[in-house]
Chains A and B, each alone.
Chain A
Amino acid sequence: MTQKKKIIFIAGCSHAAGSEIDGTEDSFYNRQNSFPTHLANHMGRLHVHAALPGATNPTIARSLQEWFLEKYNKETMDVFVLIAWTDASRIELPSETPKFHNVSNLSADWFSKTSIEYHRLTANGLQGTVAEQDYIDLCQKFMVMNPSYLEIYTANLILQTQYFLNMHNIKYLMCSTNTLFMTRSHINWYKHLIDKTRFINFDNFNESFYPKYNNLGYENKLAKYFHHGAEPHLLYAEYLYDYIKKYRLDHE
């Protein structure tokens, strides 16, 4: 019997993609030095690095399912999944015109084809075309006024992903790269269903990738936005690997 190919599938936003390690948004160097790739090396797994700068949580959840549909073969693959959730405040709106996010993510190992159908929106700043502006203003106002609604949506996506992976008996680890929830009481029901062993530091967002190393004083002089340099990525990969070993998360 031939041995199954050991793969780690990686989904997340710019932090997981290693954005701005070298000062650019996306590059092979960034991906090779990102915490998910270091983790893949620790675990002895080939990486399918599908993290995308600007990804929203719906993008992340969908890209995982899309990859499984398109590529996964349980007879030939032994897959471990790393999901790095991003800010709950980002949303994704169905778009009438194609949005070519792939153009700014040329170093990704695999790109979600469905992403082209969505406009990604953060709660502030000018985004989209002039024609889209009224519509975007309305959405941004709703996003600012209703953060708990968006947090609940993210909680649903985390559970959907957890159940999807359980259904397929896939080993996984979730982490967050920034603050996911503002600890609102409405999220409590969803929180208690989330598998805390497979979501590292779920209740302590100071331990999320960006704030954790920001609080420790790490600075990235090459970064224009909020992204870490090479060393936090190395350290976080070791931290995740120790956690995976401690809880035997890579075992059946």
Chain B
Amino acid sequence: MLIAGCSHAAGSEIDGSEDSSYNREHSYGNQLAIKLGYKPINIAIAGSTNSGIARSVIEWYENNYKDWMELFVLVGWTDGIRLEAPSPRECYYEKSNPNVDWFSESSKDFFRVHIVETFEKQNDERNITLDYQGFAVRNENYVELQNAHYILMTQYYLRSKNIPFLMVNSSFIFTKNHKSIKFYKNQFDDSRYVSHSDNEESFYYRYKKAGYTNPKAKYRHHGLDAHSDYSECLKEYILENNLQVVSNE
């Protein structure tokens, strides 16, 4: 099972650290893989953007897939407001994700722009970041549409390759609900994208609302209990809906 996503899918802070083999092994994706009899390949990267997540799925498949594999893909989409900017120099996000099972080479060409930024970046990246932030804040509808494009690109790619998949949200992704997003949401495969329009059902908020806390976490990440429960819910959902099989719909 290929597991792509951001820090939530990487199991960040289950043991209090940003990345560790323990976190990955106990992340909801890895637990789900084991429960369904797959070998987990966890390529989630803390801080990922949705464009980076989409690219990582395609890049992994193009470089690693073999005919003898029985593959299932799990994608955990991240915050809708994160952007990715072409970088003037190589970025090394793998340094802060040493336990990732595979690292996307193309991600070195991009740096990530979050709306809340601590500015450890070099000057030229700082200026680009400010520019992107200004644009994103004024154009949330546009940024949400881009997220929908990345999701559809990934969905169409996986469908064109006849690969079974499941998509979930780790956090809020579509919040504005501008009328223009409706067309794209209507194209989402509802059975293979769990609660895509209900932000409260995204991994982080679902368990926050249910009262789960992680005393080891400095940032907003769940502990082992939430990951275990979510993996069980996803397993049941996959089995109930027969999602390990690709139908010719």
Residues of A within 8 A of B (CB): 58, 61-62, 65-66, 69, 91, 93-95, 114, 117-118, 135, 138-139, 142, 145-146, 148-149, 152-153, 156-157, 159-160, 163-164, 166-167, 184-186, 189, 193
Instruction: Please state if A160 and B149 are interface contacts (CB–CB under 8 Å).
Output: yes
Q: Contact string, B175-186, partner A, CB cutoff 8 A, digits 1/0?
A: 000111101000
- Considering only residues 137-157 of chain B, those with a C-beta below 8 Å from chain A are 138-139, 141-142, 145-146, 149-150, 152-153, 156-157
Judged by DSSP, the binding face of B is: helix
- Measured CA separation A138–B138 after assembly (Å): 9
Q: Within 8 Å CB of B134, what residues of A? A: 138, 142
Shortest CB-to-CB span from A55 to chain B, Å, is 15
- Bound form: Cα–Cα A126–B11 in Å: 49
Q: Is the CB of B142 within 8 A of A94?
A: yes
Q: Does chain A have a CB within 8 A of B195? A: no
With A93-B142, A94-B141, A135-B138 as known contacts, state yes or no: A167 contacts B86, CB within 8 Å: no
C-alpha spacing A89/B142, complex, angstroms = 15
Q: Is the CB of B178 within 8 A of A94?
A: yes
Determine chain A's interface SS by DSSP, over half rule: helix
Smallest CB gap from A118: residue in B: B180
Interface residues of B in 153-175 (CB under 8 A from A): 153, 156-157, 159-160
- Number of B interface residues, CB 8 Å? 36
A167 touches B156 (CB 8 A): yes
From residue A111, how far is it (CB to closest CB) to chain B in Å? Answer: 14
A-B pairs with beta carbons under 8 Å apart, 21 shown: A58-B145, A61-B149, A91-B142, A94-B145, A94-B179, A94-B180, A117-B179, A117-B180, A118-B180, A138-B134, A138-B135, A145-B131, A149-B132, A152-B86, A156-B54, A156-B149, A160-B152, A160-B156, A167-B159, A184-B86, A189-B106
Quick one: which of B70-95 are within 8 Å of A by CB? 85-86
Inter-chain contacts of A146 with B (CB < 8 A): 85, 128, 131-132
Chain B residues in the interface with A (C-beta under 8 A): 51, 54-55, 58-59, 62, 85-86, 106, 109-110, 128, 131-132, 134-135, 138-139, 141-142, 145-146, 149-150, 152-153, 156-157, 159-160, 178-181, 183, 187
